[in-house]
Homo-oligomer: A and B are copies of this chain.
Amino acid sequence: MMFRSNCYRNLISCIGNKKISKKYSVISAVLEKPNVGDVTEIKGWVKNLRKQKDLIFADISDGSCAQKLQIVIPKNLTTDALTYGSSVSITGKLSKSPRGQLELVADNIKVLGSCVVLDGYPFNPRTTHPPEYTRQYLHLRPRTNYTSAILRIRSAVTKHIHDYFASNNYTNVHTPILTSNDCEGAGEVFKIQPDSEETIKAMMQENKDRDSVYFGSKTFLTVSGQLHLEAVCRGMGNVYTFGPTFRAENSRSRLHLSEFYMLEAELAFCENINHLQGAIEDLLKYVFTETRNTNEADLFLIDKHNKAPSWVNKEFVTLTYDEARQILLQKGCTLTDEGINKEQELTLVEHCNGVPVFVVRWPKDMKSFYMKECSEDNTQVDALDLLTPITGEVVGGSLREDSYEKLKAKLPSDRLNWYLDLRKFGNIPTGGYGLGLERLLQVLCNVSNIKDTLPFPRWPHNCDM
């Protein structure tokens, strides 16, 4: 009984001291409901210092919003450690400046962590460092105004996406990163194996090579969760997945990453490509509108000319693949059998005054095996690309082939027999799409290089940290 009571002694001793309430305020909350006269504590980093005769003005950011809080510091309170980049805790009274700006008049300042720029801190006050420069310091980059604004927007967009699908009755499915699927026959995948020689030795079996020893078959990083989503959709209705996806391409463009976030949705009982287009358009307009509501100051910080795109209140354009090619021909573009290149995608969007363009009805040979043949023309499939300014393609999608026989004839590998099985038992018509989060952020924020839309970009020869 001694220990039982000991246990409860601890339990009781916790009540009252465990939930130490945050004594300090975050700046976004202070600005949202400014109670002039209140004494409050804020914590954050010094972004700027302006010294006057008897006073020092400091701009403090705590990462909660784009705005900084101005602190008025009597000279007797300051110390040498109070420098650009240092972290501080400041208590004081909320006041209005002569110009009507909210400020905190400090009566106590504590420097939590000093920052000596000469010791190698890569950023300087009153300087907008170009993205190419800050990208060299991924571990410190979230302290810059630009990157922290993008990361807040990325977080908000992620939340809006989850909210959208929840309120539209989709189940969020965590499709796997590791897969033994042949990934649509794409050569550009990463394969995995245990790093430990000991583990490999312990698990080695006859007829297995190092690539197969752990899982029993060669295992890759996913290039898409679509096929898995389709399996869940055929039992649970509308589903989506939203997470990391990989490409082992040797390309270093402003639009490609080796690891990126993809949103994929699969719509149950979807028989018409128009239905899919409507779902995509609805989602994009929701996300753009909501993000403008929640993160206006961040959008403005990144691009002071940023404004709501004109298309938020317009219907997206639809062109068939053939129509799109006709337009490009008339504009003097050189067409090849490989479809529509990036430059041509942007030409099409410009042609439509910057309104996003669905290109539909693609030649079957150019698209994946799982896409459904058009009922009117079996050389075409019911696929779509959605093109936008800045990035060109941002969404790709299709109806899925639901004929067991047609799918069987096109199946690229026996490893996908399970996928064929889905058509055999209680099959339903479905369609779905994939949207690249980073490209969406490029369009939303007007960011030309995709590497600035995520905290830790990975591309060939670059996997720092």
Interface residue ranges, A against B (CB under 8 Å): 2-4, 6-8, 10-11, 13-15, 17-20, 24, 26, 28-29, 43-46, 62-64, 85-87, 89, 112-116, 119-121, 138-144, 148, 151-152, 154-155, 158-159, 162, 166, 169, 171-181, 187-196, 198-199, 202-203, 214-221, 227-228, 231-232, 234-237, 243-244, 246, 248-250, 258-259, 261, 268-269, 272, 274-275, 277-278, 281-282, 314-319, 323, 326-327, 330, 351-352, 355, 402, 418-419, 421-429, 454-456, 458, 460-465
**Is B172's CB under 8 angstroms from A159's CB?**
yes
**Is B193's CB under 8 angstroms from A190's CB?**
yes
**Is B269's CB under 8 angstroms from A43's CB?**
yes
Give min CB distance, A284 to chain B, whole Å: 13
**Is A250's CB under 8 angstroms from B425's CB?**
no
- Chain B residues, Cβ within 8 Å of A196: 187-189, 248
**Is B140's CB under 8 angstroms from A232's CB?**
no
Closest chain B residue to A249 by CB distance? Answer: B199
Give min CB distance, A400 to chain B, whole Å: 13
**Is B203's CB under 8 angstroms from A198's CB?**
no
- Chain B residues, Cβ within 8 Å of A282: 19
Closest chain B residue to A26 by CB distance? Answer: B169
Assembled-state Cα–Cα distance A160/B462 (Å): 35
Q: Tell me how many chains of this kind the complex includes.
A: 2
Give min CB distance, A85 to chain B, whole Å: 5
**Is A113's CB under 8 angstroms from B428's CB?**
yes
Assembled-state Cα–Cα distance A143/B251 (Å): 41
Assembled-state Cα–Cα distance A352/B173 (Å): 35
Give min CB distance, A421 to chain B, whole Å: 6
Closest chain B residue to A427 by CB distance? Answer: B113
Give min CB distance, A266 to chain B, whole Å: 12
**Is B231's CB under 8 angstroms from A142's CB?**
yes
Give min CB distance, A207 to chain B, whole Å: 13
Give min CB distance, A422 to chain B, whole Å: 6
Known: A11-B317, A112-B429, A158-B174. 18 other contacts (CB 8 A): A2-B330, A4-B351, A10-B318, A64-B237, A87-B427, A113-B426, A139-B231, A139-B421, A140-B421, A177-B221, A177-B259, A178-B246, A180-B464, A181-B465, A188-B199, A202-B250, A219-B463, A228-B455
Assembled-state Cα–Cα distance A121/B228 (Å): 18
**Is A152's CB under 8 angstroms from B171's CB?**
yes
**Is B421's CB under 8 angstroms from A174's CB?**
no
Give min CB distance, A154 to chain B, whole Å: 7
**Is A189's CB under 8 angstroms from B195's CB?**
yes
**Is A121's CB under 8 angstroms from B425's CB?**
yes
19 CB-based A-B contacts, threshold 8 Å:
A11-B318, A18-B277, A63-B235, A63-B236, A119-B425, A138-B418, A158-B172, A159-B172, A162-B162, A177-B246, A178-B246, A180-B465, A188-B196, A190-B194, A190-B214, A195-B218, A214-B460, A227-B465, A228-B465
- Chain B residues, Cβ within 8 Å of A281: 18-19
The one of B20, B176, B317, B458 in contact with A272, judged by C-beta atoms closer than 8 angstroms, is B20
Give min CB distance, A296 to chain B, whole Å: 17
**Is B259's CB under 8 angstroms from A178's CB?**
yes
Closest chain B residue to A203 by CB distance? Answer: B250
Give min CB distance, A447 to chain B, whole Å: 16
Assembled-state Cα–Cα distance A318/B63 (Å): 33
Assembled-state Cα–Cα distance A238/B215 (Å): 37
Closest chain B residue to A243 by CB distance? Answer: B243
- Chain B residues, Cβ within 8 Å of A181: 465
